[in-house]
Structure 1
Amino acid sequence: MYRTHNCGELRLEHIGANVTLSGWMATKRDFGGMTFIDLRDRYGITQLIFNMDTNQALCELARSLGREDVISISGQVRERSNKNPDRLTGDVEVVVEKLSVLNKAKLPPFTIEDETDGGDDLRMKYRYLDIRRPVLQDKLKFRSKLTLEIRKYMDSLEFLEIETPVLIKSTPEGARDFVVPSRLNPGQFYALPQSPQTFKQILMVAGMDKYFQIVKCFRDEDLRADRQPEFTQIDCEMSFVDQEEVLNTFEGLTKHLFKSVKDIELPEFTRMSYDDAIRKYGSDKPDLRFGMEIFDLNEYAKGHGFNVFDSAELVAGVCLQGKADEYSNKNMKGLTDWVKRPQIGAKGLVYVQWKEDDSVKSTIGKFYSDNVLKSWVEKSGGGKGDILFILSGAENVTRKQLGELRLELGRQNNLIDPGLYKPLWVMDFPLLEWDKETGRFYAMHHPFTAPKAEDVEKMTAKDQAVLESIRADAYDLVINGAEIGGGSIRIFDRDLQSKNFDLLGFSREEAEAQFGFLLSAFEYGAPPHGGIAFGLDRLCAVMNGVASIRDFIAFPKNNTGRDVMIDAPSRIDDGQLADLGLQIDDTALEEASSGE
């Protein structure tokens, strides 16, 4: 028997018991006649004690152990004289009577502790060591518990968990597909699913009524902290529902998860239109944990001889309260440099600083009187002691820049409470978005999203502005500025679906080739249906107040999409290529990698 108890289990009630534990030697401390070892497994850490006076050979064996050696011990539990209140097992220790070394370990390349000295790349290369760290194990435990609660809740509402295919048909919409060559069908390719969208709709046609799946999805796109090439969705679909029923169902799921896993009661979910989110916050996923709404200044700032404002489509600002006397010239220059970075793209930053002594300091003081500038601060919701930061330019760009500036000011001034959760439904998205480069419309969500019933007649319009005004029965769930999930009511009528494909630039032949199976299914009695997909990895991160999803994934990819532990992607041998009817042009690869 390797263990009678795990390393996080022993308490005061076990005093006097003979136990057997197994795990990894985490730390070792020698004090003359006594040696202490912390023994670790996924459940916790137990202190072991070896006494030179009672068993010299055993003590010397303990002193020879190296970090991460796998050992098994037997001994008696006793109460610790110096208790450790930060450890669940901190009231007891085990006096070791027998020690077996099960496996010697090489010296790890980094310390396996919560605060490690290993960088990201090193820890990802040795991920199996990184996962031994309790802080990372806690994140994987959290994810496991969350998925269990999801399944319990969905089952309580009579949802069925149904698997959909992983090898599917490639489609041109959305992000790039990962493609898989078919050996049995030379020259043809499967794609890995970006989502099970069409399959879950077909399940509704098939009468399954309520479907969900915790499913792997794949997108070949640029990576960042909250994005991986393979990720997990909580994918859901319901029949005979309208938008309100979908929102209520998944608001319930979200509240259940926060309460059951974090013991947090979420407040009521705010609802906001896409247009209002962009107008007020410059983002379709605003963080509502603090205020500072964007204030439009066109009617107040134009016509005073300041050409920068007079020639701009939009002049707008955000008001930072109570900080006018704290922001120095150095602070203002730093913030100006921040908005001029390529990631933000502003040409400059205007500010109106209304100080507590009633004086006004501004970059545009020679164009506007102090009283006019003060009135702007007041109209934006501020007053004496506040600063109004102003940007101008093309409307959409300027609102986005102000949204980023708002978040940065919130971070700099500790306005964002990390323990607060503000859920929000963003609704009434545009159905279509125009791409100037390709000169065509794309679906803002996906091609199967239904337009609002009152906007269907606009789909026959020829005017671009009218088409851009078509609203979708689409909705995103946003928590603390992160998009947790998105969904829509779906088109379930073949004629309406064909009309939407027409707007997206598909010829009838292209639509039939790509989605004929779905259009055909609609002809056999498709019910009204809708659904949503949550990003499981991102939900884990947001519930724990962190930006990166990486630590909630057991074996993530790095920022270039590589698994550095197994060294993937990698070349395959010529025999495999021949079987697939493929060949690699090494010259072309070298040119591509060198940027030629």
Structure 2
Amino acid sequence: MAVPFITEVKRTHTCGQLTKAQIGEEVVLFGWVQNRRDHGGAVFIDLRDREGLTQVVFEPDIAKEAHETAGQLRLEYCVGIKGKVVSRGSQVNPKLKTGEIEIKASDLTIFNRSEPTPFLVEDNIDTAEEKRLAYRFLDLRRRPLQQSLITRSKMNAITRSYLNDNRFLELETPFMGKYTPGGARNFLVPSRLNPGKFYALAESPQLYKQLFMVAGFDRYFQIVKCFRDEDLRLDRQPEFTQIDIEMSFVTQDDIFTIVEGLIKKLWGEVLGIDVPTPFMRMDFDESMAKYGNDKPDLRFGLEHIVLTELIRQHGAAGGVPMIWDAVEQGGIVKAMVVPGDKPMSRAESDKLEEFAKQNGAKGLARAKVAEGGEWTQSPLSKTITPALRQAINQACGVKTGDLLLFQFGRESLVHTVMANLRVHVAKKLGLIPEYGSGGVWKFLWVVNPPLFEYDEESKTWAAAHHAFTRPHDEHVQYLQTDPGRVKCHRYDVVLNGFEIGGGSIRLHDPKVQAEVFKALGIGEEEARVKFGFLLDALKFGAPPHGGLALGMDRLAMLLTGAESLRDVIPFPKTKTGTDLMTGAPGDVDDRQLREVHVRAAPLPQK
């Protein structure tokens, strides 16, 4: 008589739970066939669920019917088994938690058969990512991905527990709201009930969480989905999740303390690592000068040296006209030293120039430091004066055998090229792994950035973050006369070269807010149209407040050592924003478009 699995016979354990402590017990397991082996009478399978693997053996003299059914089993069949836990004796598998035992099966049922899968469901496979994403439901059966998502679930629970313990309320905000300019490009959603009008999918709950502070909720958080219609890369998806936090009556330091406590708890409970707090702090200007960006990886050196003033002191007489021209035209000069104890061949240094060009540079000047500080393997050595060469050597602290790399020109481009080159060289020299932490965790707050950035195309000032960031009190006087000088209470928390979170102290003073708008060229009428509801709220006793958002996807990627965000998101998009499994985005018919009052424009002729 068949055993009525599920209806009467319930699962007693998971496939990663049984040890020698359960020997002699009768158990029921459900799962998938990881592999099958027929040993001339006895049939062995490894049964898999999200918790692990258990070996099951079917023998004809123990359960003839179950043994016959086991002959039908193939990979990925979904089955239920009942049997007794026995010792594996000397055949222990030390790689498995369940490796000391096996199940002598007495009953077997096949819940569902499986067709041959397009790839093997194994820990390590070399199947193309496109194929795995097309069959993501099978890819997600693999242990590395399951462990990543299990870790992510644990992170959610830890986050909620920590913030609840610190008086935060978990409150929801709308996904669909009004489009407000600034920040990333929004996804737009047409309104059927309001012809010609559109919602914008929220790129963050920024304005809503500020309204929670105005409403007196004091401490808010949300693990929230956000949407940005941007070009994709390794650590970016069109829809992503962030841990969103806002607090009233706080300083920047108060927010840092809360966030550091959360990160310390996550690393402690997920990895068993005690993260030292408080985190190091670095001014934005220092970060840009030494590392070329505001998210430096501090696991290695290779700091940049800014030589602009030194070149200016030597002028055209320094003997390097192209560098002097760059400085005269308002550009900057940077150098980086590749240490001689990690030598690069001439061919390898030539490839660095190719990399620099891929990042927008015209080239990469370089020089090998020989005995006595002389430069070799460099066209610069032909014209540079001994005085300038000696000054550069001294400023860079070079030794014999070191390789000097130079970049000069427009400031933003020099920073970008040198920042990317620094990380590229570090990976080439084995100072950091290609991905993952390498067991080193370097947390950092980057603080005091500029409130505005200058747009060369429009010749106007734009908000570097958003228009509601509070400037330093002593810099308010420069809002109209020298906007580029204004620093603000904005901050990013950085880990190993990744920005894992960012936020600011908000503007709650309507008078200063009006000054910021004026500096941005936003008049009172335009401000009313774009931000009227928030400006109204700030007039009614808005408290001092500030907050931060942590990127949950990036945190999960770093905590699990995953290669990309796609490994920690259950159903991710490709680099072109498509879902290979469902076929999204897809076509809709003309009737659907008419219902939402939208007409599809024809594709441009190639």
Question: Is TM-score (shorter-chain normalized) higher than 0.5?
Answer: yes
1:497 deviation in Å? 1.8
How does 1:321-470 map onto structure 2 within 5 Å? Answer: 321-323=339-341, 326-341=343-358, 344-354=359-369, 361-363=376-378, 364-368=380-384, 373=389, 376-416=392-432, 418-461=438-481, 466-470=482-486
Aligned-residue RMSD, C-alpha: 2.1
- Aligned position for 2:508: 492
How many Å separate the matches in 1 of 2:374 and 2:246?
59
For 1:211, which of 198, 220, 235 is the aligned residue? 220
1:196 deviation in Å? 0.7
The alignment covers a number of residue pairs equal to 583
Contact conserved, 2:300 with 2:426, CA < 8 A, in 1?
Answer: yes
1:430 deviation in Å? 0.8
Letter in 2 for 1:521: A
How does 1:546-585 map onto structure 2 within 5 Å? Answer: 546-585=562-601
- Aligned position for 2:4: none
Letter in 2 for 1:270: M
Unaligned runs of 5+ in 1: none
1:267 deviation in Å? 3.1
Q: Residue 243 of structure 2 aligns to a residue in which SS?
A: strand
Change (3 A) 1:374 1:547: farther
Letter in 2 for 1:321: P
For 1:89, which of 83, 98, 123 is the aligned residue? 98
How many Å separate the matches in 1 of 2:34 and 2:529?
59
How many Å separate the matches in 1 of 2:223 and 2:106?
47
Q: Residue 229 of structure 2 aligns to a residue in which SS?
A: coil
1:201 maps onto 2:210 in alignment: yes
Q: Any idea what the Cα deviations from partners look like across 1:215-254, whole Å, max 9, x if unmatched?
A: 1111111111111111111111111111121122212222
- Aligned position for 1:121: 130
For 2:335, which of 290, 312, 317 is the aligned residue? 317
1:260 deviation in Å? 1.9
How many Å separate the matches in 1 of 2:198 and 2:296?
40
The share of aligned pairs that are identical, in percent, is: 43
1:139 deviation in Å? 0.5
Q: Any idea what the Cα deviations from partners look like across 1:48-70, whole Å, max 9, x if unmatched?
A: 11235555554343232121111
Q: Any idea what the Cα deviations from partners look like across 1:533-583, whole Å, max 9, x if unmatched?
A: 111101111223345111211111111111221221222233332322223
Q: Any idea what the Cα deviations from partners look like across 1:239-277, whole Å, max 9, x if unmatched?
A: 111112112221222222111221112234111111111
1:310 deviation in Å? 2.2
Q: Any idea what the Cα deviations from partners look like across 1:452-481, whole Å, max 9, x if unmatched?
A: 1111111122xxxx2111111100111111
Q: For structure 1, which segment, 134-143 or 437-446, has the greater mean C-alpha deviation from structure 2 after superposition?
A: 437-446
How does 1:259-338 map onto structure 2 within 5 Å? Answer: 259-268=268-277, 269-298=279-308, 299=310, 303-313=317-327, 314-323=332-341, 326-338=343-355
How many Å separate the matches in 1 of 2:479 and 2:387?
49
1:20 deviation in Å? 1.1
Change (3 A) 1:296 1:584: closer
Letter in 1 for 2:41: G
How many Å separate the matches in 1 of 2:242 and 2:62?
57
- Aligned position for 1:220: 229
How many Å separate the matches in 1 of 2:252 and 2:164?
21
Change (3 A) 1:521 1:358: closer
- Aligned position for 1:257: 266
Q: Any idea what the Cα deviations from partners look like across 1:359-415, whole Å, max 9, x if unmatched?
A: 753302323478975764453133233222222222332232111111111111111
TM-score (norm 2): 0.92
How many Å separate the matches in 2 of 1:12 and 1:235?
45
How many Å separate the matches in 1 of 2:92 and 2:562?
32
- Aligned position for 1:535: 551
Letter in 2 for 1:62: A
Contact conserved, 1:215 with 1:235, CA < 8 A, in 2?
Answer: yes
Change (3 A) 1:190 1:474: same
Q: Any idea what the Cα deviations from partners look like across 1:496-553, whole Å, max 9, x if unmatched?
A: 2222222223232221122111111111100111111111101111223345111211
Q: Residue 25 of structure 1 aligns to a residue in which SS?
A: strand
- Aligned position for 2:5: none
TM-score (norm 1): 0.93
Unaligned runs of 5+ in 2: 1-8
- Aligned position for 1:11: 19
Letter in 2 for 1:470: V
Letter in 2 for 1:74: K
